[in-house]
A and B are shown apart, each in its own frame.
Chain A
């Protein structure tokens, strides 16, 4: 737009000489006009400089933001992007400007199916958050529409790298589990001490009675049925310890977070067994299972964790450690008004943990899922419990509902969407007696670094009619096999031994003779992959302590199914 002085100047130049007798321009006026023009030019330059500075400052501010910021037009094409966005995309300005956000961020040719922009436009909402994973980074994306005179002009697309937070959240979930384990350890120690008392006591008693040193006459005359009574008590206690270890292992397993069809009832039953061992006996623990509980899509270790954490919280809410915790698992069909707003109509499996403890105020209920919010006293816990659980529950596409009343108690209900598949496998195993061996006994090589275990294993197998050879480590076993390669029909080895592991032994033997079957025993689960085991000739894997009956049954199957003729 021309300024007034410039207009005057041009007007002057356009004055027609015919209309003016004096053809000479008015020099004074020209000078004045020139001066005005110079001032205008200088003002315009200053304005341009100011605009330039403003733009530069705006760019500095934009580039200083740690979040990636992109300005998009209505077609989702980038019209401006800050340095973080360029760095995040590992590219430069030229490759960003004019491209669509989904081409850049998701390497897609079409709009993302869950694109938040659609909602922004439809719902006229100002802020939509979504999450994306880009080249190993976790991004939280905020999207805002930009309106001018009520008309949508484009979008502001901001992305924050939350990879560190994501990692920390995962670590916190694990830490919370470890915290729960620490709480449980004391309770488990109580059970183990009882078990050990039974085992040691019965052994002592058996020895006393065998030596006849008891006070009563009959104590010196130990009958076979008396001895059997002590042995049964020892075995029962041993099995209790075995169950306890198996429950602890299930709970301490690093969760994979991978979800697969899961029959949830056995997982809940197992967790309740562990809870019974870990909670003070002053707490009454009840489990109610509904009929026809189907499958969910889930991770068993995480379901275990949900139940353990909710129940230990419930236990802390009980007055003076006395009270009741009711655990329920029931299929439910949600129609009409749901118990909580997040719940949609459909079939669910509801897991509930209800206590009759101190209860929570409405205000407290609103805060319980906040990270680090805790009602525990200092030193009793970090307060990540329910926040971490909330993450797990959400990952299961489940919904959690809390009902609580001060002084009466609290009930947490988790609604897991039910899977449609209705196949329920009944895997009740029928106890079988071990097979006695025929007249041509096979030779079994037993390998374990625990001398007592290897001696006991060999003795038991010999009782069943097998010939056994023992070795106390992998090297010793390998040396024996090199000399007697075709005299051994089966190797039963421990996995964790100093020097050569059971798997390594099997792999080395495979090179010498590839048809020698191996049984691998271990106190830990999942130490060897299926593929490694198959390649090394391992036909069965056993968790310690191994039932001799099962071991003998498997040996019988190996010999009578695929016995070598050597």
Chain B
């Protein structure tokens, strides 16, 4: 299974890549929504984990665009918030089509379980 991580924070990308790879996934990394979309167009992924506040093209725009073009795509939104806290952004991400939302800092094991759930790998679809 292929997962694309979109986040402008290099350390978060490294962490997610490492943990997802250890769980058996193939992982691609993009530093903003524009690059992420381009990578998806070139070679589709099974699931996307995207941050919301990023330069160039932020997460909301990315989720909207991906869901419009690929309605079946699975997306998990992650955010540490901005001027008004993550709880203000994540519900909007769900409204725009994200399947799940996680507030940073999140529990890595829970996130991986959620990824597996969305991909139907452990029978517990969140």
- Which residues on A are within 8 Å of B, measured CB to CB? 183, 186-187, 189-202, 204-205, 208-209, 214-216, 218-219, 229, 233, 236-237, 280-284
Minimum Cβ distance to chain A for residue B48 (Å): 18
Minimum Cβ distance to chain A for residue B33 (Å): 11
Measured in the bound complex, the distance between the Cα atoms of B19 and A365 in whole Å is 54
- Interface size class on chain B is 20 to 34
B26: CB under 8 A from chain A?
A: no
List 7 A-B pairs, Cβ < 8 Å: A189-B80, A197-B105, A198-B9, A200-B105, A208-B22, A216-B21, A282-B58
Q: Sorted from nearest, which 7 A-B pairs have the closest CB atoms? A: A193-B80, A186-B83, A196-B105, A197-B105, A193-B104, A281-B55, A198-B11
A to B contact number (C-beta, < 8 Å):
95
Stretch of B37-45, B69-77, B106-114 with 4 or more beta carbons under 8 angstroms from chain A: B106-114
In this complex, what residue of A is CB-closest to B102?
A: A197
- Residues in B with CB closer than 8 Å to A195 are 11
* Contact flag A202-B15 (CB < 8 Å), given A190-B53, A197-B104, A284-B55: yes
Q: Is there contact, CB below 8 Å, between A192 and B15?
A: no
Q: Is there contact, CB below 8 Å, between A183 and B83?
A: yes
Measured in the bound complex, the distance between the Cα atoms of B19 and A98 in whole Å is 89
Partner of A187, one of B18, B22, B83, B105: B83
Partner of B15, one of A197, A215, A219, A283: A197
Minimum Cβ distance to chain A for residue B10 (Å): 10
Q: Is there contact, CB below 8 Å, between A193 and B81?
A: yes
- Residues in A with CB closer than 8 Å to B11 are 194-195, 198, 233, 236-237
In this complex, what residue of A is CB-closest to B32?
A: A281
B28: CB under 8 A from chain A?
A: no
Q: Is there contact, CB below 8 Å, between B105 and A186?
A: no
Q: Is there contact, CB below 8 Å, between B22 and A201?
A: no
- Residues in A with CB closer than 8 Å to B106 are 197
Contact with A along B88-126 (1 / 0, CB 8 A): 000000000000000111111100000000000000000
Minimum Cβ distance to chain B for residue A228 (Å): 13
In this complex, what residue of B is CB-closest to A230?
A: B18
* Contact flag A186-B81 (CB < 8 Å), given A197-B105, A214-B23, A282-B58: yes
Minimum Cβ distance to chain A for residue B13 (Å): 10
Q: Is there contact, CB below 8 Å, between B81 and A190?
A: yes
* Contact flag A198-B83 (CB < 8 Å), given A214-B22, A215-B23, A284-B55: no
Measured in the bound complex, the distance between the Cα atoms of B84 and A283 in whole Å is 17
Q: Is there contact, CB below 8 Å, between B12 and A197?
A: yes
Q: Is there contact, CB below 8 Å, between A208 and B109?
A: yes
- Which residues 1-58 of B have a CB within 8 angstroms of A? 8-9, 11-12, 14-16, 18-19, 21-24, 53-55, 58
Q: Is there contact, CB below 8 Å, between A233 and B15?
A: yes
- Residues in A with CB closer than 8 Å to B19 are 201, 205, 208
Measured in the bound complex, the distance between the Cα atoms of B80 and A192 in whole Å is 8
Q: Is there contact, CB below 8 Å, between B80 and A280?
A: no
- Which residues on B are within 8 Å of A, measured CB to CB? 8-9, 11-12, 14-16, 18-19, 21-24, 53-55, 58, 80-86, 103-109
Measured in the bound complex, the distance between the Cα atoms of B105 and A311 in whole Å is 28
Partner of A205, one of B18, B54, B84, B85: B18
Q: Is there contact, CB below 8 Å, between B58 and A216?
A: no
- Residues in B with CB closer than 8 Å to A237 are 11
Measured in the bound complex, the distance between the Cα atoms of B52 and A399 in whole Å is 40
Measured in the bound complex, the distance between the Cα atoms of B21 and A282 in whole Å is 30
In this complex, what residue of A is CB-closest to B24?
A: A215
Partner of A216, one of B23, B82, B103: B23
In this complex, what residue of A is CB-closest to B110?
A: A204
Q: Is there contact, CB below 8 Å, between B104 and A216?
A: no
Measured in the bound complex, the distance between the Cα atoms of B20 and A371 in whole Å is 55
Other than the known A208-B108, A284-B55, what 5 A-B pairs have Cβ atoms closer than 8 Å? A196-B105, A198-B11, A200-B107, A216-B22, A280-B82
- Residues in A with CB closer than 8 Å to B105 are 193, 196-197, 199-201
- Residues in A with CB closer than 8 Å to B16 are 201
Measured in the bound complex, the distance between the Cα atoms of B18 and A24 in whole Å is 139
Minimum Cβ distance to chain A for residue B25 (Å): 9
- Residues in A with CB closer than 8 Å to B86 are 193
Minimum Cβ distance to chain B for residue A66 (Å): 45
In this complex, what residue of A is CB-closest to B8?
A: A281
Minimum Cβ distance to chain A for residue B124 (Å): 16
Measured in the bound complex, the distance between the Cα atoms of B22 and A215 in whole Å is 7
Q: Is there contact, CB below 8 Å, between B83 and A282?
A: no
Measured in the bound complex, the distance between the Cα atoms of B9 and A229 in whole Å is 17
Q: Is there contact, CB below 8 Å, between B104 and A194?
A: yes
Measured in the bound complex, the distance between the Cα atoms of B42 and A241 in whole Å is 37
- Residues in B with CB closer than 8 Å to A190 are 53, 80-82
Measured in the bound complex, the distance between the Cα atoms of B9 and A190 in whole Å is 11
Measured in the bound complex, the distance between the Cα atoms of B55 and A196 in whole Å is 21
- Residues in B with CB closer than 8 Å to A215 are 22-24
Q: Is there contact, CB below 8 Å, between B80 and A205?
A: no
Minimum Cβ distance to chain B for residue A140 (Å): 39
Q: Is there contact, CB below 8 Å, between B83 and A280?
A: yes
- Residues in A with CB closer than 8 Å to B9 are 194, 198
Output the residue of A194, A196, A209 with the most chain B CB within 10 A.
A194
- Residues in A with CB closer than 8 Å to B55 are 281-284
Minimum Cβ distance to chain A for residue B123 (Å): 15
Q: Is there contact, CB below 8 Å, between A219 and B83?
A: no
- Residues in B with CB closer than 8 Å to A189 are 80-81, 85
Q: Is there contact, CB below 8 Å, between A204 and B107?
A: yes
